[in-house]
């Protein structure tokens, strides 16, 4: 084996296979295993290849020490599976990863906290589980408590903590593991805005110290801000690898391409008795959408469904607003039962100019998800007036132009 | 998964089918075992009102019931040792064993938050579950010593062998605990069957009665139960009651088999535990 510099990662042909149709409630019980064993003995193996699902097919990449790599991809693309393999929680079915140096994982902060133990006790317990020696935790204890801002409560059992306090302490411990390779999953999306900023600052600090970092996030701005390289995972493979700006662009473009025909999308979730077959976004008299103009969104399904919902996301992947027939008003004219065509009208589109996309979902009469398509459709909003005021799009100042009135005296 | 070659380089790949436990890695994570034991201990005694007293009350009550049922009513012999003392000497190692095996079996389920989200050698969970019982075992032994003094029994040099028999009991608990904790993730039936199985095993171990009541030719078969050797050995160390060396040897062999088999079985299943939970 060639010696790798500390902080380097080399992944070759990582694949992971799961058995489908096995939920927790239907684990193979003794009876099933025994009958299967007898069937095998009798030469009648009923195991079929169709029962397997490949969460990851073939992932290879190299990370140099000090690189900060963002991993993006839509839900179900295999990001989480990849992270679980890198952090050794699950084993790959095939492939090999070599990592040089100490590994730290921020997968879910506060994991392993025990409700009956105090904050102080949990810091030591969590530190040990995350791979710190008692002496190390002791040396960093003050810094951890200081970062969490929970000093007055450190000897209170954590069952009395609010969920925010819980997360703060969890992140504080995890952020002080001091690894050469740090793996982070969506943890930056926790807590209030102020603490979130602190967390991102801390990660930025670790990045500045030249550590190798792998971040998985839905927040594309975080990826663009912190990372110097991005990987896009699609269908269990590395679909793009390069500077974050380019890869995020590819990622958003992939949504547009796939939005051409929502009926032919295969990367959808849900039971599938009803599928979204067509989406139409129309402005006043034509396809062009204008800020402040009347807008209509039509969603058609290939079979009847009880409810229809969609969420609008901006070009950076942040949700702007959501719409749901399950949350009706008197002004709606909805059917009592199921329907296969849903139309949502807005007298005035409050979105500022820019590019947006829709995630669409259908639910059945029993409440279970029938269909969910991410980026089912992409549309552009052109500049216009919202109640006589120009809708101005400026980065960092939001996506919505509120109808409003000023008074000064 | 394993650490190989340059110790600083971590290699992740699909495990070969059968491998022995990675002792070196477990040693690197020894503090996790320590903290899990410490956590179990703190939580257990923080949640109960009379805390540590349970470790005294439980065996005392059981010994009282056993004395009434088996000594007074059924007139079972006790190798010349006062019956309550005799029963307690059997109960203390047995309770350690059965509680350890139970805790190990349910360990993966009780700690699934950890298993599904953080990597550490999974072996730490059943080991910590069993080691958590040492506190109660110690209290039980103290109680036993007090009882011996109370009954005016002499303690001979045999007592020097006591730690060996307790180690044998621990090994038996680990071996069987490893098998059951991995099996319980795959087949939840194991957890349901265990209390019943332990009840049967209690009767198949010389706790309420001396193993000397069994006919000689049955003894070898009887000693396939590793706890027979442990309980007989503990009594021999404390009271000098008779022991059959050949039978003890069988218990030692079955314990070692359980330990090695448990280690292999656990290792074999370890890689898929997070997938199954």
Contacts of A193 (CB under 8 A, 6+ apart): none
Residue B182, token pair as written in the block: 């991995």
Residues of chain B neighbouring A138 (CB-CB closer than 8 A): none
Which of A199, A229, A251 is where one domain is finished?
Answer: A251
Spatial separation of the C-alpha atoms in residues A117 and A112, rounded to whole Å: 11
Residue A306 resides in a domain: yes
Most confident stretch, A278-282, B1-5, B52-56, B250-254: B250-254
Does the CB of B35 have a partner CB in chain A at under 8 Å? Answer: yes
Burial (Cβ within 10 Å: 0-12, 13-18, ≥19) of residue A335:
exposed
Three-state DSSP state, A140? helix
Residue A257, token pair as written in the block: 């391409």
Residues A198 and A294 in one domain: no
Under the banding of pLDDT at 50, 70 and 90, the label for residue B179 is very high
Are the CB atoms for B173 and B130 separated by under 8 Å? Answer: yes
Q: Give alpha helix (H) positions in chain B.
A: 23-28, 30-47, 54-66, 83-110, 112-117, 124-131, 134-150, 162-186, 189-203, 216-222, 226-239, 245-270, 273-276
Residue A192 resides in a domain: yes
Does the CB of A84 have a partner CB in chain B at under 8 Å? Answer: yes
Residue A210 resides in a domain: yes
- How many C-beta neighbours within 10 Å does residue A400 have? 13
Residues of chain A neighbouring B39 (CB-CB closer than 8 A): 114, 117, 121, 125
Residues A311 and A275 in one domain: yes
In what helix (H) or strand (E) does residue A166 lie, and over which residues does it extend? helix A163-175
- How many C-beta neighbours within 10 Å does residue A300 have? 17
Does position B96 have pLDDT exceeding 60, yes or no? yes
Q: HSE (CB half, 13 Å, CA atoms) of A135?
A: 0
DSSP structural state of residue A111: T
Residue A29, token pair as written in the block: 């019980």
Residues A272 and A156 in one domain: no
Residues A162 and A224 in one domain: yes
CB–CB contact B46 A116 (8 Å) = yes
Residues A157 and A224 in one domain: yes
DSSP structural state of residue B70: I
Which of A225, A251, A277 is where one domain is finished?
Answer: A251
| A72-93 b/e (C-beta count within 10 Å ≥ 16 → b) | bbbebbbbbbbbbbbbbbbbbb
Spatial separation of the C-alpha atoms in residues B50 and B57, rounded to whole Å: 10
> For the domain that residue A226 is a member of, what is the CATH number?
3.40.50.300
Residue A38 resides in a domain: no
A370 phi, psi to nearest 5 deg: -90, -40
CB–CB contact A89 B118 (8 Å) = yes
∠ CA A8-A14-A15 to the nearest 5 degrees?
160
Residue A277, token pair as written in the block: 């077959």
Does position B138 have pLDDT exceeding 60, yes or no? yes
Q: How far is CA A363 from each of CA A122, A265, A324, rounded to the nearest angstrom?
A: 41, 18, 11
Q: Give alpha helix (H) positions in A273-392.
A: none
Pairing of strands A229-234, A68-72: parallel
Residues of chain A neighbouring B274 (CB-CB closer than 8 A): 84, 89-90
Does position A72 have pLDDT exceeding 60, yes or no? yes
> Which residue in chain A is spatially nearest to B5 when comparing CA positions?
A1
Pairing of strands A94-100, A9-19: antiparallel
Q: How far is B265 from chain A (nearest CA, A)?
A: 16
Model ipTM over 0.85: no
> Which residue in chain B is spatially nearest to A112 when comparing CA positions?
B114
Are the CB atoms for A371 and A270 separated by under 8 Å? Answer: yes
Does the CB of A136 have a partner CB in chain B at under 8 Å? Answer: no
> For the domain that residue A314 is a member of, what is the CATH number?
2.70.50.60
Spatial separation of the C-alpha atoms in residues B142 and B182, rounded to whole Å: 33
Q: Which comes out higher in pLDDT, residue A83 or A25?
A: A83
> Which residue in chain B is spatially nearest to A93 when comparing CA positions?
B14
Under the banding of pLDDT at 50, 70 and 90, the label for residue B20 is low
Does position B255 have pLDDT exceeding 90, yes or no? yes
Which of A251, A277, A292 is where one domain is finished?
Answer: A251
> What are the CB-based long-range contacts (under 8 Å, 24+) for A50-55?
A51/A19, A51/A20, A51/A21, A52/A17, A52/A18, A52/A19, A52/A20, A53/A17, A53/A18, A53/A19, A53/A20, A54/A15, A54/A16, A54/A17, A54/A236, A55/A16, A55/A17, A55/A18, A55/A81, A55/A236
To the nearest 10°, report the CA torsion of A206, A207, A213, A216: 100
Spatial separation of the C-alpha atoms in residues B90 and B84, rounded to whole Å: 10
Residue A290 belongs to domain spanning = 264-327+337-390
pLDDT of residue A48: 46
Q: How far is A138 from chain B (nearest CA, A)?
A: 13
CB–CB contact A96 B119 (8 Å) = no
| A103-113 b/e (C-beta count within 10 Å ≥ 16 → b) | bbbbbbbbbbb
Nearest to B211 by CA among B12, B14, B77, B24: B77
Does the CB of B46 have a partner CB in chain A at under 8 Å? Answer: yes
Spatial separation of the C-alpha atoms in residues B64 and A269, rounded to whole Å: 62
Residues of chain B neighbouring A121 (CB-CB closer than 8 A): 39, 42
Nearest to B188 by CA among B112, B122, B98: B112
Encode pLDDT of A167-223 as tens digits.
888 888 888 887 888 888 766 655 566 777 777 788 788 777 878 888 887 677 778
Q: Which comes out higher in pLDDT, residue A110 or A292?
A: A292
In what helix (H) or strand (E) does residue A39 lie, and over which residues does it extend? helix A30-41
CB–CB contact A129 B12 (8 Å) = no
Spatial separation of the C-alpha atoms in residues A224 and A70, rounded to whole Å: 8
Residue A91, token pair as written in the block: 């084993």
Three-state DSSP state, B206? coil
DSSP B92-144: HHHHHHHHHHHHHHHHHHHTHHHHHH--S-TTHHHHHHHHTTHHHHHHHHHHH
The residue with tokens 């952020």 is A175
Looking at the structure of chain A, the number of domains it has is 2
E-strand ranges in A7-144 read: 9-19, 52-63, 68-72, 94-100, 103-106
Encode pLDDT of A4-40 as tens digits.
788 889 999 999 888 765 444 444 556 666 666 666 5
Residue A301 resides in a domain: yes
In what helix (H) or strand (E) does residue A323 lie, and over which residues does it extend? strand A319-324
In what helix (H) or strand (E) does residue B9 lie, and over which residues does it extend? strand B9-13
Does position A68 have pLDDT exceeding 70, yes or no? yes
3-state secondary structure B168-190: HHHHHHHHHHHHHHHHHHHCCHH
Mutate which: A13, A89, A96, A136, vs B, most B CBs within 10 A: A89
pLDDT of residue B196: 94
pLDDT of residue A289: 81
> Which residue in chain B is spatially nearest to A121 when comparing CA positions?
B39
Spatial separation of the C-alpha atoms in residues A54 and B99, rounded to whole Å: 41
| Averaged pLDDT of chain A | 82
Residue A312 resides in a domain: yes
Are the CB atoms for A242 and A38 separated by under 8 Å? Answer: no
Lowest mean pLDDT among A338-352, B17-31, B252-266: B17-31
Residue A220 resides in a domain: yes
pLDDT of residue A299: 92
Residue A289 resides in a domain: yes
């Amino acid at each position: 084996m060639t010696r790798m510099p500390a902080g380097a990662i080399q992944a070759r042909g990582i694949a992971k296979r799961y058995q489908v149709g096995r939920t927790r409630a239907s684990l193979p019980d003794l009876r099933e295993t025994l009958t299967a064993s007898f069937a095998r003995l009798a030469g009648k193996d009923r195991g079929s290849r169709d029962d397997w699902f490949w969460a990851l097919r073939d992932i290879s990449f190299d990370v140099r020490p000090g690189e900060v790599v963002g991993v993006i991809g839509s839900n179900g693309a295999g990001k989480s599976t990849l992270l679980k393999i890198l952090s050794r929680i699950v084993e790959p079915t095939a492939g090999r990863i070599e990592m040089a140096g100490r590994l730290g994982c921020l997968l879910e902060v506060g994991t392993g906290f025990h409700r009956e133990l105090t904050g102080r006790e949990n810091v030591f317990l969590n530190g040990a589980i995350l791979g710190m020696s008692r002496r190390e935790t002791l040396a960093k204890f003050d810094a951890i408590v200081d970062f969490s801002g929970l000093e007055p409560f450190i000897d209170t059992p954590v069952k009395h903590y609010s969920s925010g306090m819980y997360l703060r302490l969890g992140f504080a411990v995890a952020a002080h593991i001091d690894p050469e390779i740090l793996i982070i999953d969506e943890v930056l999306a926790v807590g209030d805005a102020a603490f979130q900023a602190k967390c991102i600052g801390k990660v930025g600090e670790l990045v500045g110290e030249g550590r190798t970092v792998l971040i998985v996030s839905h927040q594309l701005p975080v990826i663009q801000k912190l990372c110097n390289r991005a990987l896009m995972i699609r269908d269990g493979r590395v679909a793009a690898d390069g500077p974050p700006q380019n890869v995020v662009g590819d990622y958003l473009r992939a949504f547009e391409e796939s939005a051409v025909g929502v009926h032919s999308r295969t990367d959808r979730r849900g039971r599938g008795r009803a599928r979204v077959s067509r989406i139409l976004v129309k402005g006043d008299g034509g396809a062009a959408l204008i800020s402040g103009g009347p807008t209509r969104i039509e969603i058609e399904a290939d079979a009847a469904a009880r409810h229809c919902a969609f969420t609008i996301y901006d070009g950076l992947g942040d949700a702007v607003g959501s719409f749901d027939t399950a949350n009706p008003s008197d002004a709606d004219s909805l059917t009592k039962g199921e329907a296969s065509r849903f139309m949502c009208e807005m007298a005035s589109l409050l979105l500022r100019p820019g590019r947006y996309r829709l995630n669409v979902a259908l639910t059945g009469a029993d409440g279970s998800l029938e269909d969910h398509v991410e980026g089912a459709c992409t549309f552009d909003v052109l500049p216009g007036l919202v109640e006589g005021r120009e809708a101005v799009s400026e980065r960092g100042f939001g996506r919505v132009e509120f109808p409003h009135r000023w008074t000064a005296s | 998964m394993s650490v190989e070659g340059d110790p600083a380089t971590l290699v992740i790949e699909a495990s070969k089918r059968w491998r022995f436990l990675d002792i070196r890695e477990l040693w690197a994570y020894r503090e996790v075992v320590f903290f899990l034991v410490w956590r179990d201990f703190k939580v257990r005694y923080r949640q109960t009102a009379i805390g540590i007293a349970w470790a005294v009350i439980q065996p005392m009550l059981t010994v009282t019931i056993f004395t009434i049922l088996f000594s007074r009513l059924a007139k079972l012999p006790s190798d010349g040792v006062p019956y309550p003392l005799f029963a307690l000497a059997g109960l203390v190692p047995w309770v350690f064993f059965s509680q350890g095996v139970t805790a190990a079996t349910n360990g993966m389920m009780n700690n699934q938050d950890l298993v599904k989200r953080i990597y550490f050698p999974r072996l730490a969970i059943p080991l910590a579950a069993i080691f958590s019982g040492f506190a109660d075992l110690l209290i039980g032994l103290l109680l036993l010593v007090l009882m011996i003094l109370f009954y005016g029994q002499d303690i001979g040099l045999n007592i020097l062998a006591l730690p060996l028999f307790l180690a044998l009991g621990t090994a038996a608990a680990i071996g069987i605990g490893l098998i059951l904790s991995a099996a319980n993730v795959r087949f939840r039936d194991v957890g349901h069957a265990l209390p019943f199985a332990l009840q049967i095993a209690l009767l198949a171990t010389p706790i309420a009665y001396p193993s000397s009541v069994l006919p000689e030719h049955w003894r070898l078969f009887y000693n396939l139960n590793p706890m027979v050797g442990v309980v007989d050995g503990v009594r021999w160390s404390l009271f000098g009651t008779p022991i059959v060396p050949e039978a003890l040897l069988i218990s030692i062999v079955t314990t070692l088999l359980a330990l090695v088999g448990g280690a292999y079985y656990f290792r074999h299943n370890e890689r898929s535990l997070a997938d199954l939970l």
